Amino acid sequence: MDSALIPKGVKRCPIWQFALGLGIAGAVLLWGVYAMFLCWFKGLNQTNMNDYYGFALWIWADLAVIALGGGAFFTGLLKYVFGKDELKNIINYAVLIGFICYSSALLILAIDVGQPLRSWFIFWHANVHSMLTEVAFCLSCYFCVLTIEYIPLILENRQLDKVPFVHNLSHSMHEYMAVFAATGAFLSFFHQGSLGGVAGVLFGRPFAYREHLFIWPWTFFLFTWSAAAYGPCFTLLVTRITEKIARKQLVKDATIQLLAKIAGWMMFTYIIAKIIDTIYWATTTAPSLGFSLKEFYSNNPVYGFSILFIEIVVCGVLPAVMLVIPKVRSNRLLLTLATVLAVIGVSLNRWVMVLQVMAVPVMSFDTWVMYYPSWQEVATTILPVAYGVILIMISYRYLPIFPQEAELNPLEPETPVAAEMDSQEATEADADPELTPAEA
Amino acid sequence: MFPFNFEWVWDMSHMVFMGGLWYALGILGAGMTFCVIKAILDTASGKGGHHH
Amino acid sequence: MKHTGNIGKPKRYGMVIDLDKCTGCGTCMVACMAENNVPFKKDESNKLDSITWLRVYRLTNGKPYPDNEVCYLPRPCQHCAGKHEGHSPCVSVCPATATDYDQETGIVSQIYTRCFGCRYCMAACPYHARYFNWWDPVWPKGMEKALNPNVSARMRGIVEKCSFCFHRYQKAMEKAHMEGRRELEEDEYQTACTQACPAGAITFGDLNNPEHKVHQIAQPDPAKGGRPRNPKVFRLLEELETNPKVYYLSSREWVQEACHKPHLLDQKTAHH
Ligand code: SF4
Ligand code: SF4
């Protein structure tokens, strides 16, 4: 039915299957949209946030989704600026994932602020000393970059490409992509950093506060670094999940291995910096503000030292070491495991830097306050996941996202390669494939 | 954002920050304009029609 | 009219709250709510989302009877000056310049019509002095006629906090200007809580003016970021260098420790 729209030389599932998938994701999406309108029309009393938790699930989701979307800028930087041409085979998908992550972040922010109609004040009345201003500016600029990077992909659809103007436009945009990608990397460096700065500058919150280098707290550099390290991991993970659902290999191993190796070394160096930062903060910064490390991790039901251990060792050092060792990362199963751990690790880091900051009492006579999200908050956080799934489904079906797909999966006759892939993958558990791809 | 907003000050922070912003926006805007113009010119000169 | 104090120079309005006098009666809280049109909910049992610009905390020394002691601590916005005048925790982070540090008076303002409710300032304030309007205000029938006409009511979705009754400052200044004066007498500008406190525990005035009582009690040391020279006077969380303009006075050592040396109080002994 829609075969005229499907890229040449590749096979797609029957339309009813596609429609069914869209329907399921669409239902989840509608649920989220309903919650979103509740928040807009009834106000933020629909959430479980309170005066102790001005920042909560949404801000965490924003930070996490932007860190995970970091794969787009870092892969772009590697390909266009550092000339790692091999990555052209995954850059499209990295851009698409980045586009989803960033549009989701903007949507969540639009729900999160108390007066969404005044959001433009952040630009108009900008306080240039606020980290959040920098985040807002770079975020929206970088979203433009991602849109610019995504457009040529849309234009490459088989039917659209037949229009001469469209063909020429996508051609000329491709030609100047390096300029856009470099601008994107520049913007990303700052907004990823500023997101770290959001917590790091809070000198009234000893749990979050970090010493500064020039005008930036250490978390500025840690966040940029971690986004560059963990973003590609998320790209790899989503690629893996897509391959499993599509039941075929989409990107050649050489590309995957290269990206995994770079991500591994980035993570390795990041986690060393993170450990140094943690030790310095625990032994010098926090005590100088009148706090001992123990106070941050005791007297409450959730945040114990185990959180620190899980973040830094289990989901930090471990996956970094796994990706650095060639033998381990060339094993598909272990590679996937490492990327899963890494994604959990960076999400946990963002959680701690938002939620635990709010939870720790600062005045000695104040108490720990715990928080769990309301269903409206959960639904609006899952909304972007459903939206991501839908956008990936449509893009994968109609756009030439994976340049190596046709070569890896020749249409006639059925190749032994694909069959081999299938049997290998059958060993892995495939839990809830509909919901995983854009998970933040 | 603009010098006519009353909280605007001509100091280092504003110049660096807003300079960076307008610079980035400028590159994006100019780049896109360039691409579109080039595509129009190419189309006018008959390129890209080989699909028909 | 004698004026040897602080003429023509910027004011630094501040408070000294005598914790040894405070009985915890809560009159200041009531006066504050009435003065500033602070909205309230039908059910105020959940304190985590109700608005109290001035909040009285209850501290205990954690000891069993008969050594148990209680202290009440009223906590308005501390009007922090930060490490350098104007670098308050909240003002420095607000992306939309919706909260501002007035260099004339040292008062941290909140611009209700500009705040868009991102709540970053709430995350920044260690004193929990900032409150979000989770609901639109609903006044019991007839009460809107009793609202203070000098203070605008706030809408849902924005942050508000204690303003040191800034509208009273403006009124007093207007009156002074009408009478051809540029300076206010100490008693011309007083906050509602100061005037309401039956125990006289709150003193309010210009910390920069040696003639004002606040200056005389706190004896702030400008060389050390306003640290009090009076050994009985201290500020909340001094070590964070938020540089607040609300000073507390108590001769009880455990109270002093609970307020500015948080690491000395290991167990969380207090409730509110
Ligand atoms: S007490 Fe809180 S709201 Fe008041 S000035 Fe200090 S940081 Fe800002
Ligand atoms: S909530 Fe309002 S006052 Fe607070 S930081 Fe955001 S815009 Fe500024």
Interface membership of A113 toward C (CB under 8 Å): yes
Average pLDDT over residues C195-209: 95
Identity of the residue numbered A28: V
Residue C204 lies in a domain: yes
- What is the per-residue pLDDT across C110-141, written as a single tens digit (0 to 9) for each? 999 999 999 999 999 999 999 999 999 999 99
Report how far residue A227's alpha carbon sits from residue A416's, in angstroms, rounded to the nearest whole number.
38
Report how far residue A196's alpha carbon sits from residue A356's, in angstroms, rounded to the nearest whole number.
14
Q: Which of A365, A370, A376 to mutate to test the interface with C (most CBs of C within 10 A)?
A: A365
Residue A440 lies in a domain: no
Number of folded domains that form chain A: 1
- Contact assessment for residue C202 and residue C15, using Cβ atoms and an 8 Å cutoff: yes
Q: Closest Cα of chain A to C86: distance in Å?
A: 12
Report how far residue B2's alpha carbon sits from residue A120's, in angstroms, rounded to the nearest whole number.
13
Average pLDDT over residues B13-41: 89
Bridge pairing between strands C246-249 and C13-18 = parallel
Q: Count how many pairs of residues, chain A against chain C, have C-beta atoms within 8 Å.
A: 182
User: How many beta carbons lie within 10 A of that of residue A82, not counting itself?
Assistant: 10
pLDDT at res. A187: 86
* Closest CA to ligand 2's atom 2: C115
Q: Mean pLDDT across chain C, nearest whole number?
A: 90
pLDDT at res. C101: 94
β-partners of residue C115 are none
Report how far residue C272's alpha carbon sits from residue C257's, in angstroms, rounded to the nearest whole number.
17
Report how far residue A288's alpha carbon sits from residue A357's, in angstroms, rounded to the nearest whole number.
18
User: How many beta carbons lie within 10 A of that of residue A301, not counting itself?
Assistant: 7
Number of folded domains that form chain C: 1
**pLDDT class for A434, splitting at 50, 70, 90?**
very low
pTM for this entry? 0.90
Report how far residue A89's alpha carbon sits from residue C221's, in angstroms, rounded to the nearest whole number.
65
pLDDT at res. A12: 86
Check whether C265 has a pLDDT greater than 50: no
Residue C7 lies in a domain: no
Check whether A426 has a pLDDT greater than 80: no
Residue A390 lies in a domain: yes
Residue A421 lies in a domain: no
Question: Which position has the higher pLDDT, C170 or A81?
Answer: C170
Which of A67-81, A130-144, A406-420, C59-73 bottoms out in mean pLDDT, i.e. has the lowest? A406-420
Average pLDDT over residues A12-40: 94
Average pLDDT over residues A432-439: 40
* Closest CA to ligand 2's atom 7: C115
At which residue do the structure tokens 């915890």 appear? C24
Q: State residue B20 phi and psi, 5-degree precision.
A: -60, -45
- Contact assessment for residue A136 and residue A123, using Cβ atoms and an 8 Å cutoff: yes
CA triple C271-A54-A377, angle to 5 deg: 115
pLDDT at res. A213: 82
Using omega within 30 degrees of 0 as the cis cutoff, is the peptide bond preceding A413 cis? Answer: yes
Report how far residue A40's alpha carbon sits from residue A42's, in angstroms, rounded to the nearest whole number.
6
- Give just the sign of the alpha carbon dihedral A316, A320, A321, A322: positive
Q: How many helices (H) and strands (E) does chain C have?
A: 7, 12
Residue C251 lies in a domain: yes
Ligand nearest the Cα of residue C91 is 1
pLDDT at res. B50: 53
pLDDT at res. A413: 55
The boundaries of the domain holding residue C96 are 13-271
| Cross-chain CB nearest to A44 (options C123, C157, C267) | C157
pLDDT at res. C84: 87
CA A434 vs CA A97, A239, A245, A387: distances in Å: 16, 14, 9, 11
Q: What is the ipTM of this complex?
A: 0.88
pLDDT at res. A216: 86
Report how far residue C130's alpha carbon sits from residue C159's, in angstroms, rounded to the nearest whole number.
7
C243: left (phi over 0), alpha (psi -120 to 50) or beta: left
Residue C8 lies in a domain: no
CA of A136 to the centre of ligand 1 (A): 23
- What is the per-residue pLDDT across A42-51, written as a single tens digit (0 to 9) for each? 999 999 999 9
Q: Closest Cα of chain A to C220: distance in Å?
A: 21
- Contact assessment for residue A203 and residue C241, using Cβ atoms and an 8 Å cutoff: yes
Nearest to A80 by CA among A4, A7, A148: A148
Nearest to A368 by CA among A353, A349, A355: A355
Joined together, the tokens standing for residue A42 give 């009834």
A204:C119 CB<8 A? no
Residues 22-81 in C contacting A (C-alpha not used; CB under 8 Å): 46, 48-49, 57-59, 73
Residue C147 lies in a domain: yes
pLDDT at res. B48: 64
Q: Mean pLDDT across chain A, nearest whole number?
A: 88
Joined together, the tokens standing for residue C244 give 């607040």
pLDDT at res. A432: 40
CA A77 vs CA A220, A232, A257: distances in Å: 19, 12, 17
pLDDT at res. A269: 95
| Cross-chain CB nearest to C158 (options A114, A127, A364) | A114
End-to-end CA distance of chain B: 48
Average pLDDT over residues A143-161: 89
* Closest CA to ligand 1's atom 5: C79
CATH of the domain at C99: 3.30.70.20
A386: left (phi over 0), alpha (psi -120 to 50) or beta: alpha
pLDDT at res. C4: 58
CA of C108 to the centre of ligand 1 (A): 8
Give the number of the atom of ligand 2 that is nearest the alpha carbon of residue C111.
3
Q: Which of chain B's residues have a Cβ under 8 Å away from the Cβ of A190?
A: 20
Check whether C66 has a pLDDT greater than 50: yes
- For residue A285, the 8-state DSSP code is I
Q: Which of chain A's residues have a Cβ under 8 Å away from the Cβ of C260?
A: 290
Q: Which of chain B's residues have a Cβ under 8 Å away from the Cβ of A197?
A: none
Residue C1 lies in a domain: no
pLDDT at res. C1: 44
Identity of the residue numbered A34: Y
CA of A123 to the centre of ligand 2 (A): 13
pLDDT at res. C3: 53
CATH of the domain at A369: 1.20.1630.10
| Cross-chain CB nearest to B7 (options A125, A144, A172) | A125
pLDDT at res. A81: 86
Report how far residue A71's alpha carbon sits from residue A94's, in angstroms, rounded to the nearest whole number.
6
- Contact assessment for residue C207 and residue C245, using Cβ atoms and an 8 Å cutoff: yes
Identity of the residue numbered B4: F
pLDDT at res. A206: 93
Check whether A224 has a pLDDT greater than 60: yes
Question: Angle between the A131-155 and B12-44 helix axes, to the nearest 10 degrees?
Answer: 10
CA of C160 to the centre of ligand 2 (A): 9
A369, exposed or middle or buried, with CB in 10 Å at 0-12, 13-18, 19+?
middle
Residues 6+ apart with CB under 8 A from A33: A383
Average pLDDT over residues A20-45: 95
C247: left (phi over 0), alpha (psi -120 to 50) or beta: beta
pLDDT at res. C102: 93
Average pLDDT over residues A294-315: 92
End-to-end CA distance of chain A: 34
Residues 200-229 in A contacting C (C-alpha not used; CB under 8 Å): 201-206
- Contact assessment for residue C165 and residue C35, using Cβ atoms and an 8 Å cutoff: yes
The boundaries of the domain holding residue A261 are 3-409
Check whether A10 has a pLDDT greater than 50: yes
Joined together, the tokens standing for residue A145 give 């970059």
Residues 348-377 in A contacting C (C-alpha not used; CB under 8 Å): 357-358, 361-369
Joined together, the tokens standing for residue A252 give 């050649």
- What is the per-residue pLDDT across A184-221, written as a single tens digit (0 to 9) for each? 888 888 888 889 999 999 999 999 999 888 788 999 99
Residue A308 lies in a domain: yes
Residue C2 lies in a domain: no
CA triple A8-A14-A20, angle to 5 deg: 130
Q: Is C94 in the pocket of ligand 2 (CB under 6 A)?
A: yes
Bridge pairing between strands C13-18 and C55-60 = unpaired
Nearest to A184 by CA among A68, A60, A304, A99: A99
**pLDDT class for A175, splitting at 50, 70, 90?**
confident
CA C150 vs CA A111, C52, C101, C178, C204: distances in Å: 32, 19, 21, 18, 20
Check whether A429 has a pLDDT greater than 60: no
Joined together, the tokens standing for residue B11 give 């100091």
Q: Is C112 in the pocket of ligand 2 (CB under 6 A)?
A: no
At which residue do the structure tokens 């897509």 appear? A242
CA A192 vs CA A110, A135, A328, A388, A399: distances in Å: 19, 8, 30, 21, 29
Percent of chain C topping pLDDT 70: 93
